[in-house]
Structure 1
């Protein structure tokens, strides 16, 4: 059954299955149909997120084990709710002590039956797998090794809290010989960048990729989840990072066959006008494509452009502080592909060299030229990855992942045209054009996997933190270079997913969003008052006793502080400081995770404490007055985005706590344990409950093709009203760009055309009734900036 709405809970040791069961009556009262749980399988002890799975055959004991999960399911079902569970097919934790499969590979080497579980380039490692876990070079760390015994007497090698198996017959060797005799090589953590020989999750060496394309690996890693599905404990699945898989389409087809077609959505980030591959056996995405469109509705295009100009003037033109989005992304991509993903690039080069060596027509392409071609094409892939298999059909969509202009620009870096032909070879390899041999197949899959990692790291985790004129636009799936979305664009998107993917997920806030939906809605108002914001930042800069270490940080820190203005008193500094430290480390302009600059980071924390995070003083007073003045327009954005999300095509997923106004920064701030909101009137909570109950009571209105029809407003302020009708029975109408509307004189003669005369009742304003076919928008929004109209039943009204 397709859910009518889901509610995401971050299950963790501090909020286990029993705590979730206690929350079920409240969550059922909201009107959702399913609980959406973060990963539930056995993970690294103490993990707060569960994506570091160590055993696919067991439900996590720290959460209450399988008995606890089954009891939660029973409690949910007793209250009319089902369960959707997040699963992680792409990777496991590279923690040998806890990961039995990896332990056996380290102990037995490539002959282990588990060796096929992982993408390991044994040849590149000289027959060994590199484990970059040491704090320093091995010669400096040798004193930290000891041979110990497990409880069963099995000898092991220990290094601090880490534990590694020993190859049979090596326990009695002297330490240097013992280390050399293993199927693994312990190494300084910094070597991961250039010498790693196993596939990982993005650039996180602690997460090792899993080869679920092999049937036996799929069976072993999905057995427990499929058992829970067959037993009716789990009703649907969310698939984490399918772009990391060798063949996402084949994997999803196999999974859909095993689950009997249960509702499944994928965490697929679609770029620009990219659409989900039509052949995937899923209901749709987890909803970042919808998030971008909803956010964009409440962003002023002209104001965003003006804000960019003010940002450039304030932050200065050099490099990544210049405010040019495309250039920022390209520089970030080069940085990631030549540093963090250097080992992956070398792996691809080795594969390309091997294929060329086996083909006389390709044999004289130099390794350096192939390496350059790999790098230059990777940084020019405009989407996350191509979807193609070696020897398979080459679709227009697959070819668009490596367009002709990317080939042309990649060739331009070569000084000799004949050497530039290496680009054509690499493109053909990446698109599977050179047959279906093992080398071609390996390169095709590996290129796609590396492209997705590069795109994620260079855009989401680097460029988004470097390009900050309007930080509400720097969200997963977004386009900071063009942050605004017109009503016409939104309507086209709504009609398309209503037709093609009616069961797709939609979201505003997730465990991965850099800022909560309500925080972004607040910051988006700045696009409507760029002059006022720029003037405020100038005044704030002189009102703060400690200067910012650089203007780019100051600009985003003050925007973040404005976004946090609704946080409870006393919490801002403690939550803002770690988020901004993460921002400057991810940006990598002045400090980074791997090359930290303590002096710069100390300057960041001193500035935050004195200014953006301060609870008193002139700067705080200036920010408070500014925030208070914009409060009515923030209200319109928050309520408008929430209502659009809850009533547009797709299945809305509510993140824990977002039924009320929810202000949160990047993780771990947004992954705190769930707590039931306090009792009392709350405008957003009332809206959420009304919309969710309507979806649950009348699912036929919100599902299926042809149920979404845009509505037209006429008059002076028509552009400020977005409205649509679902199945001729329910109308959503919201105010957009409310500050501009106020400055332009309000609604005046604006009229919204309804599907028919009605009468129509506004569920958000009890007692309010409207008769079509045209209704004055000023009257429609007299009590609040949004309306949810329902056609009165025959005999009513």
Structure 2
């Protein structure tokens, strides 16, 4: 039996709690006895630093030096830590290095920058382009052009007020007439629509309410991390989750500095890896937060052939244009162009200015005489062709900004000589930046940095926030980190992934549900069953809907019917809210910034009359008929997640049945302990307690070995052994299995020893176990070796 304990503060399993004023530190402390009994080693807390008052998520930090008062302040956090320690639990903190809230009346540092301008000692905190907008910071807060808002702009007590907003006044300007007063400030309040093209501060993606922070500056790093580092040093917390490192100027340098500052504490990063992409080997972190694991687990329970059949039916039903939801790659490309020219237009403008400045003064004459429009086109064409989120300092940039992409990008130009702008831009991005004393060195570094930051924002907005809502043949595949164009994962590919994780990043995080997943794991597990019966799904849709029968559009209708299938019992309000968000994110007929009330009313009416009305009963009947196969996927997903390589993170409430849609639906408070625990609760507790008892069996020095079933139905049994001490076996594609006649005499050869099923402890197995016997009570089995 392997029994060594993990290193100090290294989790065996974490449990994510969404803190908010309605669920503060005291409420979390009250849940500790239950969570400790579940078998986790650490509580994974959502951001705990001071945030905008009333925030339900905490990612809008206003003061990184203070623990949030609404949650109970630092003493409340310390009390939670003491209670957790008493029950054998540690704490993992979620920190937000990339951005803070653009809320001057709550954000003191930002208030001082607006009052004093670039001379403020806090000016270095924020990523502001003071060379733009005549040296004034653009504040896109007005409801219309400034001339139409003058009656709402008032001066009161030395403060400029606009509805709920408050801004400081530059010294000596408070008595000026309003027009002159506005012109005299270090900032410029403007109509919110100008943010798209005029903004001169870096944002989180395209969210103007979150301003980028320059943690690449050592002084800013120290100031914004001092409290978190102190909490780690004093033993209040043990580890960290790093939110969105891709937004940083230099993630490599940031993570190296953080690693040194924390003394090498267990740290995972919210890094979305594209299909086939690996975490940079040089990053001194345990791994990712686990979206790569989510994609592989989901894919394991997705029938690849059926998924393509479903795609064909979706195209016939919804008739989407190829690049507006009909083809995955084309949809992503079109969405990327739209995001670059709309939401990220100001970021593209800044890139173009830097590139033009470089070319205008470069000592290398081959870079000269490049029109800004050509440079902008080259930048856009290269950005939309990136296959990953961004290049990194530690990488060869040419592997990201590829020659193949450059060849394609040249096709955007009619004149070959103008197409050379692509080669110029690519050279500036992939060649070494040169000697630091060179006159163009600063601009070269800025171009590469801004290109990488813009690339990450573009990928997030065009893929996860647009294309995922346009290309919807299988909603379970449109998940954070997912690959909707190839949703299935074979057992061999899954085993290869797990072996690589155990070898390279054995303490990485793994997840199947988070506060950011668009659908919880249980909803996705149900939807995956549709890939096993695409024809039945098409028949049901033919019965419940018809063209022109109140359907706002085919894609939305398809997504709505899948939503209620995945959710099961569906409250109308929850479904309407999720579908309206879906439609706005897709941006085909309405959007967040250009809402179309008639279309949105049609969506609400359709949801009420269709999916949540009488026709929805037919979908509910299909769901009920398929419930045994939904159950197999739900339990299989949970058990694989909890026993595969890595450190599993259990999102609040998901230890039991948990059906949730996109936020804010998935951030609702949950009940501790659950009033009616079921078989999933029992499975989760059994797996977590096993990890707690046998940490070495699953830890850094553990092993992972695929087990291959033998017989006609072998492909439907996915099994693996951990360190020769534990065996996980699950049923995959159970509907296909049933249609093919069941397990028959399929056998699973077990490693040497006698094995007890922890989910039904009275059962023992040895040698070649009949899979039909193994899964006689449940579609999954968790075996522990009890005798040699």
Question: How far apart are the structure 1 equivalents of 2:751 and 2:353?
Answer: 62
2:611 match: 612
Are 1:541 and 2:545 counterparts? yes
2:379 match: 374
Contact 2:656 2:677 in 1 (8 A): no
Contact 1:657 1:677 in 2 (8 A): no
1:48 match: 56
Residues 85-100 of structure 1: pairs in structure 2 closer than 5 A? 85-100=93-108
1:268 match: 271
Identify which of 760, 766, 772 aligns with 1:765. Answer: 760
3-state SS, counterpart of residue 545 of structure 2: helix
The change in CA–CA distance for 1:321 and 1:745 in structure 2 (over 3 A counts) is: farther
* Structure 1 stretch displaced more, 626-635 or 314-323: 314-323
1:527 match: 531
Question: How far apart are the structure 2 equivalents of 1:654 and 1:313?
Answer: 38
Task: Quote how far apart the aligned CAs of 1:754 are.
Answer: 1.3
2:668 match: 672
Provide the aligned length of Structure 1 versus Structure 2: 773
Task: Quote how far apart the aligned CAs of 1:321 are.
Answer: 4.8
Stretches of structure 2 lacking an aligned partner (at least 5 in a row): 1-8
Question: How far apart are the structure 2 equivalents of 1:749 and 1:674?
Answer: 43
The TM-score with structure 2 as length reference comes to: 0.97
Question: How far apart are the structure 2 equivalents of 1:440 and 1:545?
Answer: 55
Contact 2:320 2:555 in 1 (8 A): no
3-state SS, counterpart of residue 732 of structure 1: strand
Task: Quote how far apart the aligned CAs of 1:753 are.
Answer: 1.6
Task: Quote how far apart the aligned CAs of 1:671 are.
Answer: 0.6
3-state SS, counterpart of residue 186 of structure 1: strand
Stretches of structure 1 lacking an aligned partner (at least 5 in a row): 150-154
3-state SS, counterpart of residue 713 of structure 1: coil
Task: Quote how far apart the aligned CAs of 1:432 are.
Answer: 5.0
Are 1:629 and 2:625 counterparts? yes
1:129 match: 137
Pairwise CA RMSD of aligned residues? 1.2
Question: How far apart are the structure 2 equivalents of 1:430 and 1:323?
Answer: 33
The change in CA–CA distance for 1:305 and 1:337 in structure 2 (over 3 A counts) is: same
Question: How far apart are the structure 2 equivalents of 1:718 and 1:460?
Answer: 35
Residues 347-426 of structure 1: pairs in structure 2 closer than 5 A? 347-360=350-363, 361=365, 362-388=367-393, 395-396=395-396, 398-426=397-425
3-state SS, counterpart of residue 635 of structure 1: helix
Question: How far apart are the structure 2 equivalents of 1:432 and 1:291?
Answer: 36
1:662 match: 658
Task: Quote how far apart the aligned CAs of 1:401 are.
Answer: 1.2
Contact 1:265 1:283 in 2 (8 A): yes
Are 1:480 and 2:474 counterparts? no
Question: How far apart are the structure 1 equivalents of 2:469 and 2:578?
Answer: 11
The TM-score with structure 1 as length reference comes to: 0.96
Contact 2:25 2:76 in 1 (8 A): yes
Deviation per CA, 1:451-486: give whole Å up to 9, x if none. Answer: 000000000000000000000000011100000000
Residues 539-578 of structure 1: pairs in structure 2 closer than 5 A? 539-542=543-546, 547-565=550-568, 567=569, 572-578=571-577
Task: Quote how far apart the aligned CAs of 1:402 are.
Answer: 1.1
Question: How far apart are the structure 1 equivalents of 2:522 and 2:165?
Answer: 41
Contact 2:390 2:453 in 1 (8 A): yes
Question: How far apart are the structure 1 equivalents of 2:526 and 2:779?
Answer: 15
* Structure 1 stretch displaced more, 633-642 or 98-107: 98-107
Task: Quote how far apart the aligned CAs of 1:649 are.
Answer: 0.3
1:152 match: none
Contact 2:325 2:467 in 1 (8 A): no
Question: How far apart are the structure 2 equivalents of 1:416 and 1:788?
Answer: 65
Question: How far apart are the structure 2 equivalents of 1:310 and 1:181?
Answer: 61
Residues 727-742 of structure 1: pairs in structure 2 closer than 5 A? 727-742=723-738
Question: How far apart are the structure 1 equivalents of 2:718 and 2:250?
Answer: 40
3-state SS, counterpart of residue 133 of structure 2: coil
Contact 1:499 1:706 in 2 (8 A): no
Contact 1:577 1:608 in 2 (8 A): yes
Are 1:297 and 2:300 counterparts? yes
Question: How far apart are the structure 2 equivalents of 1:25 and 1:320?
Answer: 52
Deviation per CA, 1:100-142: give whole Å up to 9, x if none. Answer: 1111111111111111111111111111010000000000001
Contact 2:98 2:248 in 1 (8 A): yes
2:498 match: 494
Are 1:787 and 2:781 counterparts? yes
